């Protein structure tokens, strides 16, 4: 359970644990008549005993954010226990009881602005999240160029933009940090992979390894900074059905695409998802509040955050998911609207805080719409955080710039449109060269989920996860040239043209996805 509190002033960092205990005491006084209790997140013997595999130890439970605000915010993580009943998940009941006491808490000076489940984990004991790439990775087509004399220079796949007027930074976005919050591999594993004979001609893998070796911060991997729970799973098979498979290379694949587009940007790959692509709000809050603090202190000047992940059910499904079989003290419409707002306002405020500090946030819209497109229905809306107004929402088109069959729409009116760019398509769709329509990137696991050996270090993968880094790389170029985050968002999400004399605006370039189109292609070569 995550509680977000508005504070009268910014406290010292070493006072956050005391603050968390003071808030817990107030909330427990209200929950005690219902035999419910909040415990410090990660404490108690049942934290380890009831979890298979065990949960990791937790060192920090409160995260300060909103540094630009006169009254900043703090997110505090708790776990909920029912003292008498063996409820599968007492957390929804605790949230319901606390909701009806918001006014009373405010009278005591405790202002709760949000109360949320630890959203990337569904109700126990099913620690699985609907999401993941549209398809599992598979071997990329093996293409070769003749050797030049005795040399075999590195080669492989490269991204380029077809749109006129996209002015790329001549310095390769060297003064921008791109933070990739995702899965990650250990640095040593990446370096060992780069030394494998069959991978030595993979130019992108060799470049990432060289950046990691030089120690100048061009590429960093934060592998074990944040605790992760390995029980969470996500993923889909080629038919869009749940299939949980290891995907530790997902974040490396994303980081490689950004390196291809922004050759001198600093890339920081931060592991907040486990090897199966699963995580929770704890890792997301920990990483994002840390980045906001670096922006506030001036450690980071220009920041792009790539989030090839999704959280929460989509906005249209959330009421059905949350109110199904729940017991609420009040069933009135106002109470329901308030409950739904409280369920995600804390996350929305976190993204607003980073945006206010000048960060450009890029997030994948999600890959949930394949069932709808097969039935001729409207596509699903973007998932959080892509659906927030302070985030560039990225959805997927195939190599012919047609909507990918799995792609969610990029925006929810009245929020401004999002962006669509190349993210591949479902299995069976071919590009103009009769190759599978997929994004190709770095993949270092020895085998693919279907058991095929990895012989080139390249994989085909499809999803809005892989469209997002193309937009992040372009965004780094614009920020490097002095564009603000707000102007960069406007430039990418609107066509900037009027058509047909419509003074109220132009339709999006990809109407089915409510998205402006950024035309990118991938070609093989030196």
Predicted local confidence at residue 339, as pLDDT: 75
Same domain, 96 and 194: no
251 lies in a domain?
Answer: yes
Q: Is 338 a catalytic residue?
A: no
pLDDT at 47 over 70: no
Same domain, 363 and 482: yes
Same domain, 286 and 343: yes
Last residue of a domain, one of 65, 89, 118: 118
pLDDT tens for 441-464 read 999 999 999 999 999 999 999 999
Q: Is 182 a catalytic residue?
A: yes
Q: Is 35 a catalytic residue?
A: no
pLDDT tens for 421-445 read 999 999 999 999 999 999 999 999 9
291, with CB counted inside 10 A (0-12, 13-18, 19+), is buried
Same domain, 103 and 162: no
Domain range spanning residue 511? 157-324+333-525
Same domain, 262 and 190: yes
Contacts of 439 by beta carbon, 8 Å cutoff, 6+ apart: 257, 422, 423, 424, 460, 461, 462, 466, 467, 522
The more confident residue out of 219 and 13 is: 219
Of 218-222, 271-275, 317-321, 362-366, which gets the smallest average pLDDT? 317-321
421 lies in a domain?
Answer: yes
Of 89-103, 168-182, 256-270, 478-492, which gets the smallest average pLDDT? 89-103
pLDDT at 268 over 90: yes
Last residue of a domain, one of 118, 145, 167: 118
3-state secondary structure labels for all residues of 339-400: HHHHCCHHHHHHHHHHHHCCCEEEEECCCCCHHHHHCCCCCCCCCECCCCCCEEEEEEECCC
DSSP bridge pairs for 362: 306, 392
Predicted local confidence at residue 31, as pLDDT: 95
148 lies in a domain?
Answer: no
| Residue 129: pLDDT band with limits 50, 70, 90 | very low
pLDDT at 498 over 90: no
How far apart, in whole angstroms, are the C-alpha atoms of residue 5 and residue 102?
Answer: 11
Same domain, 202 and 320: yes
Same domain, 182 and 103: no
Of 250-254, 278-282, 430-434, which gets the smallest average pLDDT? 278-282
Please give the distance of CA 237 from its chain centroid, rounded to a whole number. 20
Q: Considering the candidates 353, 396, 464, 465, report the single residue annotated as catalytic.
A: 465
pLDDT tens for 300-345 read 999 999 999 998 776 666 665 666 655 545 556 566 677 778 888 9
The dihedral built from the CA positions of residue 355, 167, 218 and 147, taken in this order, carries a sign that is positive
pLDDT at 93 over 70: yes
Most confident of 55-69, 109-123, 167-181: 167-181
Number of alpha carbons in the 13 Å side-chain half-sphere of residue 387: 21
| Residue 293: pLDDT band with limits 50, 70, 90 | very high
Q: Considering the candidates 169, 182, 280, 437, report the single residue annotated as catalytic.
A: 182
Same domain, 179 and 67: no
132 lies in a domain?
Answer: no
Average pLDDT over residues 201-230: 93
The more confident residue out of 176 and 123 is: 176
Q: Considering the candidates 250, 396, 404, 464, report the single residue annotated as catalytic.
A: 250
The label of the residue with tokens 């063996």 reads 86
pLDDT tens for 357-378 read 999 999 999 998 988 999 999 9
pLDDT at 7 over 90: yes
466 lies in a domain?
Answer: yes
Same domain, 177 and 106: no
How far apart, in whole angstroms, are the C-alpha atoms of residue 333 and residue 489?
Answer: 35
Domain count, the chain: 2
pLDDT tens for 63-80 read 999 999 999 999 999 999
The label of the residue with tokens 């929804």 reads 92
CB-based contact 212:190 (threshold 8 Å): yes
Average pLDDT over residues 260-273: 97
Same domain, 52 and 169: no
Whats the size of the chain, residue-wise?
A: 526
pLDDT at 235 over 60: yes
| Residue 206: pLDDT band with limits 50, 70, 90 | very high
271 lies in a domain?
Answer: yes
| Residue 57: pLDDT band with limits 50, 70, 90 | confident
The more confident residue out of 277 and 334 is: 277
Average pLDDT over residues 41-57: 63
How far apart, in whole angstroms, are the C-alpha atoms of residue 484 and residue 392?
Answer: 13
pLDDT cut 90: percent of the chain above it: 67
User: What's the CATH number where 310 sits?
Assistant: 3.40.50.200
492 lies in a domain?
Answer: yes
CB-based contact 441:158 (threshold 8 Å): no
Same domain, 104 and 208: no
Which stretches of 108-240 are DSSP H helices? Answer: 187-194, 203-214
Same domain, 103 and 174: no
319 lies in a domain?
Answer: yes
pTM, full prediction: 0.92
pLDDT at 123 over 50: no
Mean pLDDT of the chain: 88
């Amino acid at each position: 359970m995550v509680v977000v509190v508005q504070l009268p002033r910014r406290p010292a960092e070493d006072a956050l644990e005391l603050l968390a205990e003071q808030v817990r005491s107030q909330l427990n006084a209200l929950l005690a008549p219902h035999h419910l209790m909040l415990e410090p997140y990660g404490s108690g013997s049942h934290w380890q005993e009831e979890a298979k595999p065990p949960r990791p130890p937790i060192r920090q439970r409160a995260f300060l954010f909103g540094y630009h605000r006169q009254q900043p915010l703090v997110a505090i993580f708790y776990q909920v226990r029912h003292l008498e009943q063996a409820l599968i998940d007492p957390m929804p009941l605790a949230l319901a009881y606390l909701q009806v006491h918001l006014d009373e808490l405010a009278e005591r000076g405790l202002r709760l602005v949000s109360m949320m489940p630890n959203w990337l984990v569904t109700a126990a004991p099913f620690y699985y999240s609907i999401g993941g790439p549209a398809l599992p990775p598979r071997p990329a087509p093996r293409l070769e160029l003749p050797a030049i004399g005795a040399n075999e220079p590195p080669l492989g796949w490269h991204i380029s933009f077809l749109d006129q007027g996209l002015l790329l930074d001549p310095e390769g976005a060297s003064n921008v940090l791109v933070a990739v919050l995702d899965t990650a591999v250990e640095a040593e594993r990446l370096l060992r992979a780069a030394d494998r004979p069959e991978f030595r001609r993979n130019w992108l893998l060799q470049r990432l390894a060289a950046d990691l070796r030089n120690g100048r911060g061009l590429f960093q991997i934060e592998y074990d900074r944040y605790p992760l729970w390995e029980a969470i799973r996500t993923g889909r098979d080629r038919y869009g059905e749940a299939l949980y498979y290891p995907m530790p290379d997902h974040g490396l694949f994303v980081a490689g695409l950004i390196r291809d587009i922004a050759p001198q940007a600093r890339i920081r790959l931060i592991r907040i998802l486990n090897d199966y692509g699963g995580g929770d709000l704890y890792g997301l809050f920990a990483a994002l509040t840390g980045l906001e603090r670096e922006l506030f202190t001036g450690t980071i000047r220009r920041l792009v955050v790539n989030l090839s992940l999704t959280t929460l059910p989509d906005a249209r499904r959330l009421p059905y998911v949350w109110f199904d079989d729940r017991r609420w003290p009040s069933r009135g419409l106002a109470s329901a609207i308030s409950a739904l707002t409280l369920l995600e306002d804390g996350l929305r405020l976190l993204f607003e805080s980073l945006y206010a500090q000048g960060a450009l946030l890029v997030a994948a819209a999600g890959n949930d719409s394949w069932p709808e497109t097969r039935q001729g229905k409207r596509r699903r809306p973007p998932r959080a955080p892509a659906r927030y107004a302070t985030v560039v929402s990225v959805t997927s088109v195939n190599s012919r710039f047609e909507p990918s069959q799995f792609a969610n729409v990029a925006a929810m009116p009245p929020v401004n449109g999002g962006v669509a760019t190349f993210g591949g398509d479902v299995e069976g769709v071919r590009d103009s060269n009769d190759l599978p329509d997929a994004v190709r990137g770095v993949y270092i696991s020895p085998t693919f989920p279907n058991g095929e050996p990895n012989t080139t270090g390249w994989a085909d993968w499809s999803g809005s996860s892989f469209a997002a880094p193309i937009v992040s790389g372009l965004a780094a170029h614009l920020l490097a040239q002095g564009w603000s985050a707000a102007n960069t968002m406007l430039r990418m999400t609107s066509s900037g043209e009027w058509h047909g004399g419509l003074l109220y605006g132009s339709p999006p370039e990809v109407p089915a996805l409510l998205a402006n189109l950024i035309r990118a292609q991938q070609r093989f070569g030196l």
